[in-house]
């Protein structure tokens, strides 16, 4: 079953270009089982990343690579507040997908 993960992050002022650049340098080839990746700007300095995976097992296996990418982003991120830290992540099996 296809899986997806969504991660919310807020970028420090003046760091958006660096944040986007780090994502452009990502390679899905280092994350077997990945199908797609999207970076979505949701507001001022607010972004979500959306990944699609072959399965939850593939997503779980890619966590070390994802953490490595996050390590490059940490200096650019602002704490989300409310005890959430630098990221707010969700993942799970895709239950419904509508394509044209």
Within 13 Å, how many C-alpha atoms sit on residue 3's CB side? 17
Who's near 19: CB < 8 A, 6+ residues apart?
9, 11, 47, 73, 76
**CATH number, domain with residue 51:** 3.30.70.100
pTM exceeds 0.95 for this model? no
Model confidence at 29: pLDDT above 90 = no
Average pLDDT, the chain: 95
Residues paired with residue 48 on neighbouring β-strands, in sequence order: 8, 40
- Cα separation, 85 vs 96, whole angstroms: 30
Domain membership flag for residue 91: no
How confident is the model over 17-31, as a mean pLDDT? 92
Q: What length is written for the chain?
A: 100
pLDDT average, residue stretch 26-35: 90
Predicted pLDDT of residue 28: 87
Average pLDDT over residues 19-47: 94
Contact, 44 vs 78, CB < 8 A? no
Question: How would residue 49 be classed by pLDDT, with cut points 50, 70 and 90?
Answer: very high
Q: Residue 30 is part of which domain span?
A: 3-84
Total tally of structural domains belonging to the chain: 1
Phi and psi of 80, rounded to 5°?
-75, -15
The answer to whether residue 98 sits within a structural domain is no
In a domain, 55, yes or no: yes
Tell me whether residue 26 is in a domain: yes
Question: According to the model, what pLDDT value does residue 41 have?
Answer: 98
Is 43 within the bounds of a domain? yes
> pLDDT-based confidence at 1, cuts 50/70/90?
confident
């Amino acid at each position: 079953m296809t899986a997806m993960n969504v991660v919310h992050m807020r970028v420090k002022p003046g760091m958006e270009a660096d944040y986007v650049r780090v994502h452009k340098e990502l390679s899905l080839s280092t994350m077997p089982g990945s199908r797609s990746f999207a970076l979505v700007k949701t507001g001022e300095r607010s972004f979500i990343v959306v990944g699609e995976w072959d399965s939850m097992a593939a997503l779980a296996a890619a966590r070390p690579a994802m953490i490595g990418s996050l390590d490059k982003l940490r200096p650019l991120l602002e704490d989300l507040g409310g005890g959430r830290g630098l990221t707010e992540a969700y993942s799970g099996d895709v239950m419904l997908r509508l394509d044209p």
